[in-house]
Copies of this chain bind each other. A is one copy, B any other.
Amino acid sequence: MNITRINHIAIVVNNLDEAIRTYQQQLGLTVSKRLHMPEQEVEIAFLPAGDSAIELISPTSETSGVAKYLAKRGEGLHHICLEVPDVQQSLEELAARDVQLINDKPIRAAEGLGFFVHPKAAHGVLIEFLQPYDET
């Protein structure tokens, strides 16, 4: 496995505008990008720090997975995303080691193709593996 960096750390929040205000005006980070992801029924904002970023995620419906997570767990850390050069190869390597995966093939995320490892397979942490989209 060739993990090149922590692409982002995701934080689930109730209200994206309020959270952006807190993280920018109180904590000193800066939003680089804001996106609406209709398929996942979420809005997200990226706040870079070094070669990684904090990703704030807020649901845009009450039925999305993120909305259900919020209702059950409240605001807070949600997952970490590890960047790899070849997501299909990483998925196959982990599957060959019998690591419990949430996705059996890569899915389209905001920043690339990714898949999730089940928290049961990572000591309670939801981990995404991501291959960024080719920007050329």
Contact = CB atoms under 8 A, between A and B. Distances in A.
A94 to B, nearest CB: 7
Contacts of A26: 94, 97, 99, 121-122
Interface in A5-29: 5-6, 9, 11, 13-14, 19, 22-23, 25-29
A74 interface: yes
B50 A29 contact: no
Interface stretch (A34-42, A60-68, A104-112, A123-131): A123-131
B49 A50 contact: no
Contacts of A92: none
A77 interface: yes
Contact of A51 (B2, B14, B52, B74): B52
A93 B28 CA distance: 9
Given A52-B5, A123-B19, A125-B11, A27 B80 contact: no
Contacts of A119: 76
Given A26-B97, A99-B26, A49 B124 contact: no
A102 interface: no
Task: Name the residue among A11, A94, A124 with the largest chain B CB count within 10 angstroms.
Answer: A124
A1 B28 contact: yes
